Amino acid sequence: MLWTLMGVMVFLLLLGFPMMIPLMAGPLILLLFFDIGPDVNIMIQQMVEGISSYVLIAVPLFIFAADIMTSGHTSKKLLDFIGAFVGHLRGGYAITTAAACTMFGSISGSTQATVVAIGTPMRERLLKVGYKDSSAIALIINSSDIALLIPPSIGMIIYSLANPSASVGDLFIAGIGPGVLIFAFFALYAFIHAKIYDIPMAPKMNWGERGKATYRALLPLGFPVIIIGGIYTGQFTPTEAAGMSVFYALILEVLIFRTIKWKEIPNIALSSGIVTSAVFILVASGQAFSWVISFARIPRQLTDAVIPAEPTALYILIIVSIFFFVGCMFVDPIVVILILTPIFAPIADAAGIDPVHLGVVIVFQAALGSATPPFGVDIFTASAVFNKSYLDVIRGTPPYIIMLVIVAVLVVVFEEISLFLL
């Protein structure tokens, strides 16, 4: 059955069908042609159940807030603020890019939104000071992956749906440490790279200019305060924080900055709805897929093949990392998290692994796979946004992949990196 399932999915993917079709077709064939138990009609109920969780309400709200900010001037004000303080340093433009992606990730929770909002203006600045296009794009897409770890992370929300023993609020806070660590590695690399290739530095701003940039960025900086601070202090649930982020984005961009008119909001909402529908279709299909393969005992076959009788916690985390990293190189991270998390979560729990730490490891691998060839989703996002070929986009990625792998190993070995704020 396993080979039939995989064969159907690979065949349909090679024919060019969108991911939701193989996800539904494979399990449907198992139900129709193999005697595994449940009636085929129940599959529809499982799909509906998959998108009925209260946790998922936060997803369209965060997507909507990100779309509003991307259409306005929030990202530009953040870039100006960060550039005012670090732009004059060696590698300052690259450090500004990484810092802006980290900060915008704490607002949007979406890697694709970060690529668009930060990548478009920063690519032009990086090229002007002498960076190769391949290096600039690689920096942008890999820095954008920090958005999958820094709250509000959509990946964390999906993991919490697949493993309810980990709360979304704890996952949000736990992602801060790894996200900041990735930024530190990227900033150090930017400094070394700029020194080797003698990249020019921006003029140093005086404190008056820095004060003006800080003043203009004060309101956009309120986003992470509302989201992270509200959740950390217990004032908001993640879903309430998502609703507040939409309200705050509307106040800023429509009433204060006036970069968006009220008549534009329906079109922005429509765009958010289209993205949300794509996410929810994948979630529903992933739920049905997980339900069917559990009846077919495929997870048991898989774990028996790779997990020994009494595995150590470190061994399980290594196996989890490999499976999720490889899976996200080929398939959308949402799908991989939904399918593989229910398989490995009980084993990890039996080995005494904290479910929050497990979630950080899983989402980290999803972020790493998202920017890794051959089919990392951020690669194709960057290719479309910057109108560059696939090979041009991936040419500069190896140094960043190496750094991400190093950080991934540290996160696996030292769980304090994830849990020290909890």
- pLDDT classification of 115: cutoffs 50, 70, 90: confident
User: Would you call the peptide bond into 374 cis, given omega within 30 degrees of 0 as the criterion?
Assistant: yes
The residue-averaged pLDDT of 368-379 equals 75
d(CA 307, CA 304): 6
Give pLDDT, residue 422: 80
Q: Residues of the chain with pLDDT > 90: what percent?
A: 26
d(CA 263, CA 223): 24
- Reduce the DSSP state of residue 370 to 3 states and report it: helix
> What is the pTM (predicted TM-score) of this model?
0.83
Whether pLDDT at 366 is above 70: yes
Vertex 332 angle, CA 352 and 62, to 5°? 85
The residue-averaged pLDDT of 397-412 equals 93
Sign of the torsion angle spanned by Cα atoms 353, 337, 105, 94: positive
- Reduce the DSSP state of residue 259 to 3 states and report it: coil
The residue-averaged pLDDT of 198-203 equals 83
Asked if 304 and 343 count as a contact pair (C-beta separation under 8 A), the reply is: no
The residue-averaged pLDDT of 401-406 equals 93
What single letter denotes the amino acid at residue 347? I
Whole-angstrom CA distances from 286 to 161, 207, 380, 422 are 11, 52, 22, 30
The residue-averaged pLDDT of 316-343 equals 85
Burial of 161 per CB tally in 10 Å (0-12, 13-18, 19+): buried
d(CA 289, CA 43): 9
- pLDDT classification of 62: cutoffs 50, 70, 90: confident
The residue-averaged pLDDT of 327-350 equals 85
- Reduce the DSSP state of residue 285 to 3 states and report it: helix
Per-chain mean pLDDT for the chain: 85
Structure-token pair, residue 86:
């670090």
Give pLDDT, residue 375: 63
Give pLDDT, residue 260: 92
Give pLDDT, residue 374: 67
- pLDDT classification of 400: cutoffs 50, 70, 90: very high
DSSP 8-class letter at 203: P
- pLDDT tens digit sequence for 265-320: 999 999 888 888 888 887 888 888 878 877 777 777 777 778 887 889 999 999 99
d(CA 54, CA 161): 9
